[in-house]
Structure 1
Amino acid sequence: MSASTTPETGQAESAGRGGTTLVAALVFIALVVAAIGSLGAPLITSVAKDYDVSLSTAQWTLTITLLTGAVATPLLGRLGSTQRRRKVVLATLAIVALGSVATVVPAPFVVLLVGRAAQGVGLGLTALTMATARQHLGDRAVSTIAMLSVASTVGIGVGYPIASLLAQLGGVRVAYLLAVVVAVAALITAVVAIPRDTSAAPANESVDWLGASLLSVGLVAVLLVTSQSSWWSSNPLPVVLILLVGAAVLAAWVVVERKVARPLVDLTALRHPAVAGANVVMFVSGIAMYLLFTLITRFVQTPLQVGYGYGLNEVEAGLVLVPFSALGFVAGRVVPKIRQKVSPFGLLTANGIVIALACVLFVSVRGMGVVWPIVVMGVLGFGVGGFSAVMPQAILAVTPAEETAAAMSVNQVVRSVGFSLGSAVSGLILAAHTATGSFAPTDSGYSTAAWTAGVLALVTIVLAAGINASRSKQHQS
């Protein structure tokens, strides 16, 4: 009997001899979509040169991926909550593969943008891989979900050095060819390893397309302005107006979701203090983590003639991210074991302390040799990896199994918005410390930005510790 014949036998069989294959496949898929999504960052300069566009225009190869990912995540989460999860995963990976092909063909810049948008759809798969693990892996589900969350975060650093090296050797299209190869490999892996759907989706099941449309417009408006930090100084009034429109649309979306029979996102889950608290903690910590992440990558590439920085090229800067990914995976292996003795919000508090430590280290030692930013990146990676590993446990502990995809899709969207804001805040602070006509900000700008990230990490610590104390009192009473 196959792993998909019945829920019980399928789960037992997958958790047994086929479990290792499924775990490896899910982690590989999560790594691939995260790495493909991040490919835009190290290639912005190369894209600007090869396509003869400005750096701000080339920045859209990263921005549009983030936008489509944020929009696709809740929709895929709802579609994947049904009995057609495997079909949704395969269709999404097919879209990613086709989009990857579009990025390598000789064509105008707009075709590259379309391809990058299609690749961004894959960022919504993380919630579905978690739901698949929870359904089919039995006792191994908790540790696997932790690793999937880690992979979706630290996978960002996996594509950087490889893409940078390929761009240096053969140009931007050769670098994007990497995405074609791994996307096709992920699709084949999913075909072979993802268990078949248990039955056909109910005929009367409907998708909340109005809610999907409102959420898409609201998120695009918010992420559009937060991901384009240069607009804040050059066009502040339109930025504020777009933000207000986005907020109004999202408010309308909340009203719609509370009235429809089967909402895109079940907001009633957020009434549970643990789920709501976890998402607030994710939002604040996401800003802090990505703020420091972007600071380090920019600092090490600053030319020596500026008076600080290390003048690393794209390949060397990509290698600085290796400790981030490596220690992130280490944390992903260690944290689930500690979870047996420490509560999820206790672990979130501890990892908030690690992120705060990384911020303090960056302020203190960044100019004392290139090895120190590498050390800071490693510490940050451990904090981010630990944070990512425990976050699903804090949410899924109070979430019904059938709502796994929907609940984690909300968390993924919150994380995406937090990361985008972190990048925007980093750019805003550095821009404020850049003199008119100057190429680079003053060194003090990096200190100010790092202390800002540290304060946000402190807020994360206070929030997580407060929720942990509150839940401890509830369990004792």
Structure 2
Amino acid sequence: MSVARTHLPPERSASTIAALSVASTVGIGVGYPVISLLDQLAGLRAAYGLGFLLSIAALAIAWRVLPVEAPGERPRIDVAGALLLALGTLGLLLVLAQPSLWATAWLAGGILVGSLAILALWAIVEMRTAAPLVNLRLLGQRPVLRANLAMFIVGIGLYLLFSLLTRYVQTPAGAHYGFALPGVAAGAALIPFSLMGFVAGKSLPYLVARITERWAYALSTMIAIAAVVLFVAADRSLLAVLVSIALLGFAVGGVFSVMPKLVLVGVPGAETAGVLSINQIVRSIGFSTGSALAGFLLAAATPARSMLPTSDGYITAALWALPPLALSALIIAVRRSPRRPALPSTAS
């Protein structure tokens, strides 16, 4: 995205960045069924091997086609900042993704406190480094801060619902709900997710030109809310659940396509990569939080000596996605107008 903003004219860079933002959404609909099929045919190691080969292919393509920067002084790499940020976010994601750690409260608490301390040290280092990995003063500006906060919150709601839907369609037949779809079929159920994400990526730039980025973002979150409502109202219908998955795909594609423009308001071109990278990290932490919350809610809805949660547990868990979705829309859509200067008083 940073390369697109630097090397393309403004009228092309915006649409290219939007397309890059939703590329991962489109890839989900292809990756899930392909990897599931390979897992069934050749085993899990073969599936991971394909992922590794695809990563190598992506690196080779990037090396071949991305433009070469103009010759000049080589940029300084903030190695200390990179290591501290990686270590701090690793600790946060670990305590979110591994709920079993909380069985030993002192261990999980220690990792959490240590991670926050490392991130605080990272912030101090970044503020004092001549060439920081991330310009924290820039991240503190109101538009950038608001966009990152909304991205974190909406990520919780979107991935909470995504985790529920992908698990629900695979629920075994003995549970008396769900559809017992095998791995490949469950992966194919995400094709509507990717198709509608692609549609969102193509249509949102035209919509933004008419209703602005803020309202396009709010519309995307409202569509995600509609996906929740549809799932809650008609969870026993496979068609309804697939439509809910499709609506979620459009919402994810819409949020991803419009977020770069929201977070880059007033950001200099040289800071594009740093600001977008932090936004990606915030997105990942939001996703991990939503996934962990889905697991926690389903575990709470699982009766003793049972392997599966109740059907009502899925409904309750899906309803938990509504507050973060609505809150993120409000954060972006409701913008405080600048304070008007007071009029000078006139003597009578």
Matching of residue 136 in structure 1 with residue 7 in structure 2: yes
1:343 positional shift: 2.1
Matching of residue 288 in structure 1 with residue 288 in structure 2: no
Q: Tell me the equivalent position of 1:452.
A: 320
The DSSP-based 3-state class of the residue aligned with 1:309 is: coil
| 1: CA distance, partners of 2:136 / 2:25 | 25
Structure 1 residues 200-239: aligned runs within 5 Å: 200-202=72-74, 205-232=75-102, 234-239=103-108
Task: Answer with 142-151 or 241-250: which moved more.
Answer: 241-250
| Identity across the alignment (%) | 43
Q: Tell me the equivalent position of 2:297.
A: 429
| 1: CA distance, partners of 2:263 / 2:60 | 31
Q: Tell me the equivalent position of 2:284.
A: 416
Task: Answer with 183-192 or 241-250: which moved more.
Answer: 183-192
Q: Tell me the equivalent position of 2:346.
A: none
Matching of residue 316 in structure 1 with residue 185 in structure 2: yes
Q: Tell me the equivalent position of 1:339.
A: 208
Structure 1 residues 84-95: aligned runs within 5 Å: none
Structure 1 residues 55-134: aligned runs within 5 Å: 130-134=1-5
Q: Tell me the equivalent position of 1:242.
A: 111
Q: Deviations over 1:206-242 (max 9, x none)?
A: 322222222122111100010113434x334422232
Task: Answer with 318-327 or 333-342: which moved more.
Answer: 333-342
1:352 positional shift: 1.3
**Count of aligned residue pairs for this structure pair:** 340
Q: Deviations over 1:223-264 (max 9, x none)?
A: 0010113434x3344222321221122122112211221111
1:135 positional shift: 1.6
| 2: CA distance, partners of 1:431 / 1:231 | 15
Task: Answer with 249-258 or 408-417: which moved more.
Answer: 249-258
Q: Tell me the equivalent position of 1:114.
A: none
| CA 1:155–1:201: 2 relative to 1, 3 Å | farther
Indicate which of 162, 183, 188 corresponds to 2:55: 183
| 1: CA distance, partners of 2:7 / 2:147 | 25
Residue type of the alignment partner of 1:345: R
Indicate which of 259, 274, 292 corresponds to 1:406: 274
Residue type of the alignment partner of 2:96: T
Q: Deviations over 1:58-82 (max 9, x none)?
A: xxxxxxxxxxxxxxxxxxxxxxxxx
Give yes or no for contact 1:360–1:454 (8 Å, CA) kept in 2: no
1:400 positional shift: 0.9
The DSSP-based 3-state class of the residue aligned with 1:263 is: coil
Residue type of the alignment partner of 1:405: A
| 2: CA distance, partners of 1:308 / 1:438 | 15
Q: Deviations over 1:161-197 (max 9, x none)?
A: 0010111122223323433443343234223321122
Q: Tell me the equivalent position of 2:240.
A: 372
Indicate which of 244, 248, 265 corresponds to 1:397: 265
User: Structure 2 stretches of 5 or more lacking a match?
Assistant: 342-348
The DSSP-based 3-state class of the residue aligned with 2:119 is: helix
Give yes or no for contact 1:286–1:419 (8 Å, CA) kept in 2: yes
Give yes or no for contact 1:229–1:425 (8 Å, CA) kept in 2: no
Residue type of the alignment partner of 2:302: T
Structure 1 residues 15-94: aligned runs within 5 Å: none
| 1: CA distance, partners of 2:307 / 2:318 | 20
| 2: CA distance, partners of 1:212 / 1:292 | 32
User: Structure 1 stretches of 5 or more lacking a match?
Assistant: 1-129
| CA 1:372–1:231: 2 relative to 1, 3 Å | farther
Q: Deviations over 1:119-164 (max 9, x none)?
A: xxxxxxxxxxx01111222121100000101113442333100010
Q: Tell me the equivalent position of 2:28.
A: 156
Matching of residue 351 in structure 1 with residue 220 in structure 2: yes
1:288 positional shift: 0.5
Give yes or no for contact 1:230–1:428 (8 Å, CA) kept in 2: no
| 1: CA distance, partners of 2:313 / 2:100 | 16
| 2: CA distance, partners of 1:279 / 1:347 | 17
| 1: CA distance, partners of 2:302 / 2:195 | 34
Q: Tell me the equivalent position of 1:385.
A: 253
Residue type of the alignment partner of 1:268: R
Give yes or no for contact 1:227–1:424 (8 Å, CA) kept in 2: yes
- Structure scoring higher RCO (CA < 8 A, sep ≥ 6) equals 2
Matching of residue 328 in structure 1 with residue 197 in structure 2: yes
The DSSP-based 3-state class of the residue aligned with 1:247 is: helix
1:432 positional shift: 1.0
Q: Tell me the equivalent position of 1:16.
A: none
Matching of residue 262 in structure 1 with residue 131 in structure 2: yes
| 1: CA distance, partners of 2:225 / 2:126 | 36
**TM score, norm. by length of structure 2:** 0.92
Give yes or no for contact 1:295–1:426 (8 Å, CA) kept in 2: yes
| 1: CA distance, partners of 2:100 / 2:310 | 17
| CA 1:476–1:393: 2 relative to 1, 3 Å | farther
| 1: CA distance, partners of 2:76 / 2:270 | 16
Matching of residue 438 in structure 1 with residue 306 in structure 2: yes
| CA 1:292–1:236: 2 relative to 1, 3 Å | farther
Residue type of the alignment partner of 2:306: S
Q: Tell me the equivalent position of 2:344.
A: none
Indicate which of 42, 58, 65 corresponds to 1:193: 65
1:475 positional shift: 11
Matching of residue 461 in structure 1 with residue 325 in structure 2: no
Q: Tell me the equivalent position of 1:105.
A: none
The DSSP-based 3-state class of the residue aligned with 2:209 is: coil
